[in-house]
Amino acid sequence: MKKLVQLFLTTSIFFFLFSCQSQITDSCQLEPLSFNGTFTEVQNNVFQPYCVGCHSGAQAQGGLDLSANAAFVNLVNASAANSSLSLVKPGQPGSSYLMKRLRATDGETPMPPSGKLEQRLIDLVDLWIANGANND
Ligand code: HEC
């Protein structure tokens, strides 16, 4: 009899865990966060947390201010200090110096210098530029 109770309990726990797990999997489908590729998303998820520490105010590194209200005009169709490319060329992520620094594929110091951002954030900036680099 004791064995039967144990078996019953073990089975119930198993089903309880199993059903929980499928629920967890469902809520996990919210990850990875999907972005629409707006400038607001770029400012809030990339520039604000990872860049303005060095790129803001009078001491902005590389002469590039990426703080809110400054970043858009300083990037879109603006010349880069270190390259003949524009920092952001609307519709052309591959010709935008900003993407070269985020990807650091040409042996340049990555931005941020401590190491590349997670891929989904690099993809977000790429998507924003591909979408036409709008102020949205
Ligand atoms: C620890 C400080 C630091 C952080 C954080 C940082 N940068 Fe920089 N950044 C610099 C310095 C210093 C330079 C100038 C030297 C160089 O080009 O490597 C620079 C230069 C740049 C340039 C080249 C500007 C030009 O006109 O040539 C871009 C683009 C850039 N950063 C983008 C970013 C972005 C985007 C982020 C955030 C994802 C970021 N940086 C985070 C220090 C930083």
- Which tens digits make up the pLDDT trace of 29-87? 445 568 999 999 999 999 999 999 999 999 999 999 999 999 999 999 999 999 999 99
Distance 113 CA to ligand 1 centre (A): 7
Mutate to test the pocket of ligand 1, among 101, 114, 126 (most ligand atoms within 8 A of CB): 101
Higher pLDDT, 12 or 103: 103
pLDDT surpassing 60 at residue 100: yes
19-33, 78-92, 96-110: segment of lowest average pLDDT:
19-33
Residue 135 CA: distances (Å) to CA of 21, 61, 65, 76: 41, 23, 16, 10
- Per-residue confidence (pLDDT) for residue 17, from 0 to 100: 46
Which of 63, 64, 62, 68 has its CA nearest to residue 42? 68
As given in the structure block, the two tokens for residue 92 are: 């052309």
Check pLDDT > 50 for residue 126: yes
Taking the domains of the chain in order of start, what are their residue ranges? Answer: 39-130
Position of tokens 């144990």?
6
**Residue 104, both tokens:** 């650091």
CB 128 within 8 A of CB 42: yes
